[in-house]
Amino acid sequence: MALAFVFPGQGSQSIGMMKGFGDDASVRQTFQEASDALGQDLWAMVAEGADVAVINATVNTQPLMLTAGVAVFRAWRAAGGAAPVVAAGHSLGEYTALAAAGSIAFADAVKLVRLRAEAMQSAVPEGQGAMAAILGLPDDVIVAACAEAAQGDVVEAVNFNSAGQVVIAGSKDAVERAMALCKEKGAKRALPLPVSVPSHCALMKPAAEKLAAALEHIHVGVPEFPVIHNADVAAYTDPAQIKDALVRQLYRPVRWVESVQKIAAGGVAEGANVITECGPGKILVGLNKRIADGAQHVALTDAAAFDALKALL
């Protein structure tokens, strides 16, 4: 059995999301390192009774999700779990994958995603951007609808999550026009998403410039295992290419369907027949089952899942 790890992005956060790991030393140590790097108690943010609005704020969600993913990965490895043959991350999760692979030092990654979140939030004033999920419509029809609905504004297909599930993003009015047009063209549903930042569209180019400037001062090394990048569906060993892929990821689509297909088919490394979501929640497992139905799909949502995965391998 060949193992792949995939790391979730924003949307998987929840109060108490780490309770399945109790007082696991690797998990608590990872949260402490992140808290020290940011000067902020991240563990308290996800504890029972914490404020959900706090963890849903983009500037907190991004470092929290990265920390949670790395914490679970470290706990898995400390428990004797095997290293993956390949990894990928959905949007923000790409940074988690790189940190897990040792390409970016964890403390640097935590600070970097905090800066990324701040840059994204400042790129588009709150209330002027929007995102929506389009369900039950072919990708090419959605892309064409966005082009027709733009009318000089920005609206683009930005997350190709699975067959029949695509997220669009851009300026609020253009997204609303695109939603209406997609419904006219036969979409089963067009759902506005509760986000304040229109991720992965052209409106994020100012944020990408700030990210590029920050990355100039970050050491990026060769990953210990291949990490597939969202923008290109490719894995790189050249630090300059990795940095460039991270910058372009901010304003280019997340090509998740192609990434998971490549993982399963062995397009980067040995084809992985066990694709494991590493971090809170099971959102990616749900998507991945529809993309690579010939693989086994597992979510490491608690310590008990470690034993089940080891038995599977």
**Best CA proximity match to 168, nearest among 184, 186, 150:** 150
d(CA 229, CA 151): 31
Q: Enumerate helices (H) and strands (E) in the chain, giving the number of each.
A: 13, 10
Candidate list 90, 199, 200, 229, residue with the active-site label: 200
Residues 6+ apart with CB under 8 A from 101: 87, 223, 224, 225, 227
Q: What are phi and psi of 196, to 5 degrees?
A: -105, -5
Report long-range pairs for 282-288 (Cβ below 8 Å, ≥24 apart).
283/8, 283/11, 283/12, 284/6, 284/8, 284/90, 287/161, 287/162, 287/165, 287/256, 287/260, 288/6, 288/260
122 part of the active site: no
**Contact in structure between 46 and 63 (CB atoms under 8 Å):** no
**Best CA proximity match to 191, nearest among 154, 150, 159:** 159
d(CA 26, CA 36): 15
91 part of the active site: yes
Candidate list 35, 91, 103, 259, residue with the active-site label: 91
d(CA 302, CA 272): 22
Q: How many other CB atoms are there within 10 angstroms of residue 188's CB atom? A: 11
Nearest-10 crossing angle of helices 25-38, 106-123: 50
**Best CA proximity match to 256, nearest among 281, 277, 279, 237:** 277
Query: Which positions are catalytic?
Result: 91, 200
